[in-house]
A = this chain, B = another copy of it.
Amino acid sequence: MTDATKSTHVLQHQMESFEESCRAADLKLTHQRLEIYRELAKATDHPSAETLHKRLHQSMPTLSLDTVYRTLTTFEQHHLIKKVETVDSQAHYEAQMQQHHHLICDTCKEIMDFQWSSFDAVSVPEDILQWGAIKNKSITIYGTCRKCQALKEKKKLE
């Protein structure tokens, strides 16, 4: 399970390597891009374009929603961020590029990251190698988180 907070120091470092990647990819470092990336990088909840736009609205009232969409698409195309696989109608994003997996609560829909290095190390079954060139494998675990379990228990007692 990852921490819910991210130190400013770590974020700082992540911003620097982001800027470097942008230069390498010939992407201009606009105020909008920097702020959208920072907001996503410090989030732990895999926000949608709309959520990011809302969060940034206070500090950047003129930022438009279509810029958020366009920016996220650009970042994703350059592999600076990832789209998260969901069953949701809105697309969700994450700046975490290290290998990791997801836990999704079927009640509150919250998405958490987790590590499973022993799984990462195993190779896929033989017949899958015949399917093509494998690039990545990731797990999604579904269940009900503690918070939602507690709420359900409480409701039963009422």
**Chain A residues in contact with chain B, CB under 8 A?**
1, 83-87, 89, 91, 103, 105-106, 112, 114, 116, 119, 124-125, 127-128, 130-146, 148-149
Across the interface, do A140 and B85 meet the contact criterion of CB distance under 8 Å? yes
Count of identical protomers in the assembly: 2
Across the interface, do B114 and A132 meet the contact criterion of CB distance under 8 Å? no
A91 to B84, CA, bound (A): 14
A116 to B139, CA, bound (A): 12
Across the interface, do A103 and B128 meet the contact criterion of CB distance under 8 Å? yes
Q: A56 to nearest B CB, angstroms? A: 23
Q: Which residue of B lies closest to A117 (CB)?
A: B125
Across the interface, do B85 and A105 meet the contact criterion of CB distance under 8 Å? no
Once A85-B87, A137-B142 are accepted as A-B contacts, the answer to whether A125 and B114 lie under 8 Å apart by CB is: yes
